[in-house]
Structure 1
Amino acid sequence: MTEPQGALLVGSVNYDDAEKTMRTASAVLGGRLRRIPDGEVGKRFHWIMFQPDVLGQAEGIERVGDEPRWRRDVDARPLRIADGVDAATLQLPPLGYASAAEDSYEIFRRLRDEGAIAEGIRFQVSLPSPVAVISSYFSSDDRAAIDPIYTAAMRRELDRILAAIPHDDLAIQWDVASELGIIERASGYGRTMESWWPGDPFDGLVERLAALVDAVPAGVEVGVHLCYGDAGEKHFIEPKDTATLVRFANAVITASARELTWLHLPVPIDRDDPAYFAPLTDLTETAELYLGLVHREDGVEGARRRIAAASAVVTRFGVATECGIGRAPAGTTEGILATHAEVASAW
């Protein structure tokens, strides 16, 4: 059986502050990590769910429904463009990702100066694809109208991060979930997940994600986290195998002008059979491949079963969870990190 090399923290971690996240991750995982995120603390705890609160501040964008839908201190009501408003005139506020990255990078740098984080480890910033926010919180014709506006706002967030953080310290991860739902025509948020642009939905998704990859300049690492959703720790559809993931990843790698530094693919908890992993034989090689086969429910024993199944198909990969662990039950975080450490070797 292959011993996986290295570990990836997908993004969110169930701690209250960035310093605890980074200190703990470094202490538990040590040389297994090439990059450390801030844990997506605060309002980012539930991935993109804070974005309606941000976008709802823009003149010309309204919340749908009279009563807030609270998720802790975040109102998750969807959005609409107000009647009579030309989307091209919308002025979106800063989305919050750049300011969070700037604040957390200062903590990262201080911890590195103290020796709590090793030299050579990069600071990881995870950003959602615009497709995720647009498809989750806008409906009907509003999606096509807001698409270029929100995409430009996300690009401004990226540009601000690139300006604030030294490139040799930085790693950008694009979080890609809704795209898989659109490809699979899955049911999400009570409706079939669909595209809003003309032509083949798959081609449009590839074009959009390749453009995001290429927006990260040489010298900055870039990774892609592919996901089948994580609402209540459940996928919006259970993949039959890795074939769709491989097809999409290969198309994006081919369409991108720059090389992908790492690729992360999910592994459902009940898939410890080689058939799930078999399509990986056709996966275009990337510098680092991570398989999300660590699950809190069955820990080391379950991870090793899935490692054995994956090893029958691929011989070089690292480990991760399927998605972030920001919504994992309280008190389980260090055990999840320890599972990564036990089943993977250092780089």
Structure 2
Amino acid sequence: MTQPQGALLVGSVNYDDAEKTIRTAASILEGRLKRIPDGEVGKRFHWILFQPDALGETEGIERVGDAPIPVRGLDARPVRVADGVDPATLKIAPLGYAAAALESYEVFRRLREEGVVPPGVRFQVSLPTPLAVVGAFFPAEQRAAVEPVYRDALFRELDEILDAIPHEDLAIQWDNAVEFQVIERVEYRGKPGVEPWWGDVWEGLTARAAEQAGRVPEDVEVGFHLCYGDVAEKHFIEPKDAANLVRFANALFAASPRRIDWLHLPVPIERDDAAYYAPLADLALPADTELYLGLVHREDGVAGAERRIAVASQFVDEFGVATECGIGRAPEGTTEGILRTHAALARSW
């Protein structure tokens, strides 16, 4: 059985502050991490669920429904462009990604100066795709017009991060989850799935992913996290196999105007059968791209991950380990154990 090389923290970590996330990850996973995120702490604990609150600060965008939908201090109601407002004229309020990244980078930098974070480890910032936020929170009839406006706002946040953080310290991860709702055409929580608002599904997704990769300068690392969702540690649909993940990744590799530094693919907990992993044999992974398989699960720890590693090793020679999504919604008190599972499985770089 292949012993995995290195580990990846997908993004969210179930701690209250960035310092605890960075300190703990650096200590437990010493030598195994090339990048450390801040854990997506505070209002970012549930991925993009804080974005409606941010968007609600924009004149011309209103909340849908009269009563707030409270989720740990957030209002989960969707949003819409108000009647009579041209989406192209919207001046999107700050989205919160740049402010959070700059604040957490100062913690990262200080901990590196203290010797907690090893030299050469980068600060990882995870960003959603514009499609994700627009598809999740705006009504279907407004998505085509709103997407370029939100995209530009998110790219401004990225530019602010790029301007403030030294490029040799920085890694950007694009989180692709709603894309797989579009691909799989599934209902979610009894509601219709997200339908594409463009022509060919795969061409549209590939063009978006390539554009997102190209927005990151060559001297900043960029990675892609492919995901089937994570609400209450459950996917919105369990993939039949890794075929659509591989198809998406191969299209991205072919279209990207720059190097992709890492790729993360999820692995459901129950899949230790060859059928799930077989499509990995067709993954056209570039020589300079790291592959991480999200086969670490808190429920079955090292033993379960080793079963999945043994099968995956039949189809791909070299990969690192990760969870299938972030661990920000894992039960309280389980985070350190999950990190130690990564450490037990992966060899250092």
Deviation at 1:189, TM superposition (A): 4.6
Is it true that 1:318 corresponds to 2:317 in the alignment?
no
**Match of 2:260, as an amino acid?**
L
Identity %: 67
Secondary structure of 2:45 counterpart: helix
How far apart in 1 are the matches of 2:189 and 2:216? 31
How far apart in 1 are the matches of 2:57 and 2:172? 27
Deviation at 1:140, TM superposition (A): 2.2
8 Å Cα contact 1:22-1:36 kept in structure 2: yes
* 2:292 counterpart residue number: 290
8 Å Cα contact 2:143-2:197 kept in structure 1: no
How far apart in 2 are the matches of 1:131 and 1:86? 19
Write the deviation string for residues 137-191 of structure 1: whole angstroms up to 9, x where unpaired: 0112211121111000010011000000011100000000000110110112533
TM-score (structure 1 length as normaliser): 0.99
**Match of 1:275, as an amino acid?**
A
**Match of 2:17, as an amino acid?**
D
Write the deviation string for residues 198-226 of structure 1: whole angstroms up to 9, x where unpaired: 31122111111110011101010000000
* 2:102 counterpart residue number: 102
TM-score (structure 2 length as normaliser): 0.98
1:197-346 aligned at under 5 Å gives the runs: 197-286=197-286, 287-346=289-348
**Match of 1:312, as an amino acid?**
Q
8 Å Cα contact 1:136-1:189 kept in structure 2: no
Deviation at 1:197, TM superposition (A): 2.9
Deviation at 1:193, TM superposition (A): 2.4
Secondary structure of 1:192 counterpart: coil
Q: CA RMSD in A?
A: 0.9
Secondary structure of 2:229 counterpart: coil
* 1:29 counterpart residue number: 29
Residues 185 and 196 from structure 1, CA distance in 2 versus in 1: closer, same or farther, beyond 3 angstroms? closer
* 1:81 counterpart residue number: 81
Write the deviation string for residues 26-52 of structure 1: whole angstroms up to 9, x where unpaired: 000000000000000000000000000
Deviation at 1:285, TM superposition (A): 1.2
How far apart in 1 are the matches of 2:66 and 2:123? 40
How far apart in 2 are the matches of 1:253 and 1:192? 30
How far apart in 2 are the matches of 1:292 and 1:147? 29
**Match of 1:264, as an amino acid?**
H
How far apart in 1 are the matches of 2:66 and 2:22? 39
Write the deviation string for residues 39-97 of structure 1: whole angstroms up to 9, x where unpaired: 00000000000000000111111101111111100100001111111111111111100
Residues 123 and 262 from structure 1, CA distance in 2 versus in 1: closer, same or farther, beyond 3 angstroms? same
8 Å Cα contact 1:143-1:196 kept in structure 2: no
Deviating above 4 A after TM superposition, structure 1's stretches of 4 or more consecutive aligned residues are none
Secondary structure of 2:58 counterpart: coil
Write the deviation string for residues 249-294 of structure 1: whole angstroms up to 9, x where unpaired: 1001111110100000000000011211110111011420000000
Write the deviation string for residues 4-35 of structure 1: whole angstroms up to 9, x where unpaired: 00000000000000000000000000000000
Larger displacement relative to structure 2 (197-206 or 111-120): 197-206
**Match of 2:297, as an amino acid?**
H
Residues 190 and 62 from structure 1, CA distance in 2 versus in 1: closer, same or farther, beyond 3 angstroms? farther
Report how many aligned residue pairs link the two structures.
347
1:191-202 aligned at under 5 Å gives the runs: 191-202=191-202
Secondary structure of 1:30 counterpart: coil
**Match of 2:290, as an amino acid?**
E
Deviation at 1:312, TM superposition (A): 1.1
**Match of 1:235, as an amino acid?**
H
Write the deviation string for residues 290-332 of structure 1: whole angstroms up to 9, x where unpaired: 0000000111110101001101111100000000000100000
| Structure 1 spans left out of the alignment, 5+ residues | none
Write the deviation string for residues 324-345 of structure 1: whole angstroms up to 9, x where unpaired: 0001000000000000000111
